[in-house]
Structure 1
Amino acid sequence: MTATAPLDITMITTPWFALPPGAYGGIEAMCAELVDGLVELGHRVTVIGVGHNGTKGDFIATDDSPAGAQRLGNSGPEVLHAARAARALRSLDSDVIHDHSTVGPLQAGQRQAPTVVTAHGPVTGETGRYYEALSDTVHMVAISHAQQEQTPDIVWSGQVHNALRTAQYPYRDRKGDDVLFLGRIAADKGVHLGIDAARDAGLPLTIAGGCNDPAEQPYIDEELQPRMGDDVRWVGEADRRTKLDLLANARCLLFPIQWEEPFGMVMIEAMACGTPVVALRRGSVPEIVEDGVTGFICDHPAQLVQAIGSVARLDPQACRERVQSHFHTDQMAVAYATLYEQLCRGPTR
């Protein structure tokens, strides 16, 4: 239980996937963990979302069917979700509202309770300007120090790492030979670099991920297809059971990102399974991976090959302990609850 009285927290999620998501859905996975963690702390949580409720909180559905990955980027589901969420809020006595949708925070100025917004993705370009414009009416939270430092013009109210429950991830200390890439198939994820590195290291590569953005098709055609061979297995988008099996069995997870990744949930998922991470030094990577202990951080793609060849000397248990001590749901829930309580006591600016 918390030291203060329980709060009435409303969690507005996205219109894309249910909580928790069956496969893809990083924001929804984080929301599900946070809801359960807050309930376990003794708070009352109402989720406004889509589809079914797989959390410990109460639930109000704005739509029986999630929009799904095929409609990502379509404004229709967002606008409808925001309108129905606003109607649902009128029937709730919320102490604080945590809004993970895109359109919903625009209504924060008309809400009686403070609104918290977590920046789940990039904070540059149009998105960054949107968050900057919002940040005088909402309380912005970064998911990494790297993200927070990237856009100092945003008024940040806090920083909280994403998290998971290690007990829900299978641990294996004996690994297979496959190197694993798991994530969105896109140029900024560096999949082509992963193929080159695994091949140069003389090891097979498994690619698990889908592409829902037609704009990435030229990248697939020009960079990935010519690199495919008998040593590369592309299994497509994996469901949760397949994903966990791949993560637990992999020699290492390759994370050769080509952009300032704000967090990278797959890194802590891999480490929770006892699987080290080989990554390029971009974005949040240095905050998550302990270089030489839970993986290797490389400054150049050419260094990935040697790193892959060195992961066998790392201790799988150290990887899991890193997640347990730094990225566990309990810690995330306490950090957000502390922020909510501060906001309910009065302005923080």
Structure 2
Amino acid sequence: MSPNAPLDITMITTPWFALPPVAYGGIEAMCAELVDGLVELGHRVTVIGVGRNGTKGRFIATDDSPAGSQRLGNSGPEVLHAARAARVLRSLDSDVIHDHSTVGPLQAGQRRAPTVVTAHGPVTGETGRYYRALGDTVHMVALSRAQQAQAPDILWSGQVHNALRTAHYPYRDRKGDHVLFLGRIAADKGVHLAIDAAREAGLPITVAGSRNDPAEQPYIEGELRPRTGDDVRWVGEADQRTKLDLLASARCLLFPIQWEEPFGMVMIEAMACGTPVVALRRGSVPEIVEEGVTGFICDHPAELAQAIGSVDRLDPVACRGRVHRHFDTDRMAAAYAALYQQLRWGHQHPRSEPAARIVPLLR
């Protein structure tokens, strides 16, 4: 059989949100895009997920309803989803399994097909120790070179940037007079820095995001509530329609991240709308934002306000063009398909040869 023949791919998503998610759900949004991209390449994709199916793949649900953001961090939905997914897998003849769940990869050593795991979160702390413990039973994929560099001892099999359908994002070259923060309302996202920078630049800011983590309440009360004013518009968690309107109309997106974010999806969403990004130099930011072309990358929060004042000279067409060339779904799907093909046709049992030596890095 040809090494370019269609593959039978099983995509295991999380128990938290449907595909695609209605609002919050970065992992699920990426999964939905990847499934559709792979189907369009001619591969057969079976999705094991929850709730409804909004993808082009064949869908098998482990639960009629997603667990939702209120139960994030609860082990119950993860364990139940993994157990039911394992039962479904026994009835499938998969060439490769791409598991985006947390608990599911623990079963990779007992699966007939190779398991790919994308590191959607941090690769330090407990999560990093978990990935190391999985060892050579899985084939790890990093979201960025920055993430990969944080944990070079993990057996990485590849690196593939997240992506979106550029054509699905509204382009607007005439922007409003406000700047935008869009993301979780959390200290590591630097919301307070965004408000301070916008205020110093003399522009109102719209803050949109979820506030579901009780652990962030001291930050909200101590740092954000004192910064409330007429120049700060709070809109809460935005649905897809509202999010797209906010991204397209903003003068720029502020991304003053306070941790080594492996991939900031909101940055490519903004650029797809022709909206530049003003960010701090952390994590994947230098891989996503082209300095002086699609935004400005600052080394210190004190530089953010001046950068905001300079965004008018950036070309919205260049912002959208960068996403189309480097971060479109077709590119992501092709990169993962190449990885799957190598695993399918060149796969040896991972205990006999480390995955990082079987598959070269995908750039």
TM bin, normalised by shorter chain, reads: over 0.9
- What is aligned with 2:61? 61
The alpha carbon displacement at 1:135 in A equals 2.7
- What is aligned with 2:182? 182
- What is aligned with 1:131? 131
The alpha carbon displacement at 1:136 in A equals 1.1
- Which amino acid letter does the alignment assign opposite residue 99 of structure 1? D
- What is aligned with 1:234? 234
Does the Cα contact within 8 Å between 1:123 and 1:131 map onto a contact in 2?
A: yes
- Which amino acid letter does the alignment assign opposite residue 227 of structure 1? R
Whole-angstrom CA distance in 2 between matches of 1:4 and 1:255: 40
The CA deviation string for residues 270-327 of structure 1, in whole angstroms up to 9 with x for no partner, is: 0000000000000000000000000000000000000000000000000000000000
The alignment partner of 1:135 has SS state of: helix
- What is aligned with 2:193? 193
The alignment partner of 1:235 has SS state of: strand
Whole-angstrom CA distance in 2 between matches of 1:87 and 1:270: 40
- Which amino acid letter does the alignment assign opposite residue 289 of structure 1? V
The CA deviation string for residues 189-222 of structure 1, in whole angstroms up to 9 with x for no partner, is: 0000000000000000000001111000000000
- What is aligned with 1:301? 301
For residues 283-322 of structure 1, the aligned pairs below 5 Å read 283-322=283-322
Any gaps of 5 or more consecutive residues in structure 1?
A: none
For residues 233-272 of structure 1, the aligned pairs below 5 Å read 233-272=233-272
The CA deviation string for residues 134-164 of structure 1, in whole angstroms up to 9 with x for no partner, is: 1310000000000000001111000000000
Whole-angstrom CA distance in 2 between matches of 1:153 and 1:177: 46
Does the Cα contact within 8 Å between 1:270 and 1:276 map onto a contact in 2?
A: yes
Whole-angstrom CA distance in 1 between matches of 2:306 and 2:312: 12
Corresponding residue pairs, total:
348
Whole-angstrom CA distance in 2 between matches of 1:4 and 1:203: 53
The alpha carbon displacement at 1:3 in A equals 6.8
The CA deviation string for residues 166-197 of structure 1, in whole angstroms up to 9 with x for no partner, is: 11000000000110000000000000000000
Which one is further off, 126-135 or 264-273? Answer: 126-135
- What is aligned with 1:50? 50
The alpha carbon displacement at 1:120 in A equals 0.4
The CA deviation string for residues 96-149 of structure 1, in whole angstroms up to 9 with x for no partner, is: 000000000000000000000000010100100000111310000000000000
Does the Cα contact within 8 Å between 2:3 and 2:341 map onto a contact in 1?
A: no
Whole-angstrom CA distance in 2 between matches of 1:126 and 1:196: 33
TM-score by length of 2: 0.95
- Which amino acid letter does the alignment assign opposite residue 254 of structure 1? L
For residues 151-170 of structure 1, the aligned pairs below 5 Å read 151-170=151-170
- Which amino acid letter does the alignment assign opposite residue 297 of structure 1? I
Whole-angstrom CA distance in 1 between matches of 2:28 and 2:258: 24
Whole-angstrom CA distance in 1 between matches of 2:26 and 2:140: 18
TM-score by length of 1: 0.99
Whole-angstrom CA distance in 2 between matches of 1:87 and 1:198: 52
Does the Cα contact within 8 Å between 2:210 and 2:236 map onto a contact in 1?
A: yes
- What is aligned with 1:89? 89
Does the Cα contact within 8 Å between 1:38 and 1:337 map onto a contact in 2?
A: yes
- Which amino acid letter does the alignment assign opposite residue 112 of structure 2? Q
Any gaps of 5 or more consecutive residues in structure 2?
A: 349-354, 358-363
The alignment-based identity, stated in percent, is 86
- Which amino acid letter does the alignment assign opposite residue 161 of structure 1? H
Does the Cα contact within 8 Å between 1:262 and 1:284 map onto a contact in 2?
A: yes
The alignment partner of 2:253 has SS state of: strand
The alignment partner of 2:309 has SS state of: helix
- What is aligned with 1:31? 31
- What is aligned with 2:361? none
- What is aligned with 1:105? 105
- 4+ residue runs over 4 A deviation: none
- What is aligned with 1:216? 216
